[in-house]
Structure 1
């Protein structure tokens, strides 16, 4: 089965090409990518200077596989135009957002929580695969931008973070 990083690389290549649809099957696993027709601005992570990238249609990834254990997935960090220069942790994939590993356990983070780059902040479930999303920056959670159980899109902001 393809790793999440390999799928991300395929998504980037599809985004930069004229290909509208891509399918891949291997050992019972399927990956199908389609470009959307609407254009949505995509902002690339910049080290210090934050500049928006060109407008590109996002790619929707559908991965079919069965894996019981959560995988760690890197989340993109995007700058905002907020007067306090908050950063956002965005969803690296399409799926369902969960604040905790199960309904009877507390949320990974909440407003006021201090996070480090390797802190798990939520789970995004895609095709019964539960992916742990890490903060990838040090700071304080100032806002949770989505509700538990809400569907999220690739690149959708999940948390606002005040960097340290």
Structure 2
């Protein structure tokens, strides 16, 4: 089976090419990628009879979950109005929120004994990895997608996160 880095590399190559579908089969496992017309990328794989649905992080367009994956809580989080103004009154000044592109488990560091990717006050650029979100045993590195300073970390290490849930607040520079 392909490892996460190989799958991410394939996703990047397909995203940059005119290929719209890709399937890889080996040892009873299948990885299928299909690029839809609105720049969303869906990855579906199967190991035996257990289906796997994974959506990679993309800088080009926000990723929308499959309708079957999006529960009421995710719909409410996505539809929730921006709390920026009320938080500014509480002393939090920020320009941008880094949100979870999928449902999964938030990890602030690459390994239990490692230092966190970022902390409050860390400077980030658009390609800085700020955390990992684990979904279905796949570890997805989440990039800042903006240059600035982390002013607030909104979730704890090991916490379950929803699609669209804010993870960090950033003051743009």
TM-score range, shorter chain: 0.5 to 0.7
Query: Any conservation in 1 of the 2:77–2:165 contact (CA below 8 Å)?
Result: no
User: Which one of 98, 104, 126 corresponds to residue 89 of structure 1?
Assistant: 98
Query: Any conservation in 2 of the 1:99–1:107 contact (CA below 8 Å)?
Result: yes
Gaps of 5+ in 2: 1-30, 54-65
CA offset digits 1:56-90 (Å, max 9, x no partner): xxxxxxxxxxxxxxxxxxxxxx8933544431100
Query: Any conservation in 2 of the 1:79–1:88 contact (CA below 8 Å)?
Result: no
Q: How has the CA–CA distance of structure 1 residues 85 and 154 changed in structure 2, closer, same or farther, with 3 Å as cutoff?
A: same
Aligned positions of 1:6-155 closer than 5 A: 9=40, 29-31=51-53, 33-37=68-72, 39-40=75-76, 42=78, 80-81=84-85, 82-83=87-88, 84-155=93-164
Shift of 1:40: 1.0
Equivalent-residue separation in structure 1 for 2:46 and 2:128 (angstroms): 33
Equivalent-residue separation in structure 1 for 2:117 and 2:34 (angstroms): 22
Gaps of 5+ in 1: 12-23, 44-51, 53-77
Aligned residues: 119
Aligned-residue Cα RMSD (Å) equals: 3.2
Shift of 1:9: 2.8
Query: Any conservation in 1 of the 2:124–2:147 contact (CA below 8 Å)?
Result: yes
Equivalent-residue separation in structure 1 for 2:169 and 2:72 (angstroms): 28
Bigger Rg, structure 1 or 2: 2
- Residue of structure 1 in register with 2:26 after alignment: none
Which has the larger helix fraction?
A: 2
- Greater than 2 Å deviation, 4+ residue runs: 1-6, 8-11, 24-39, 78-86
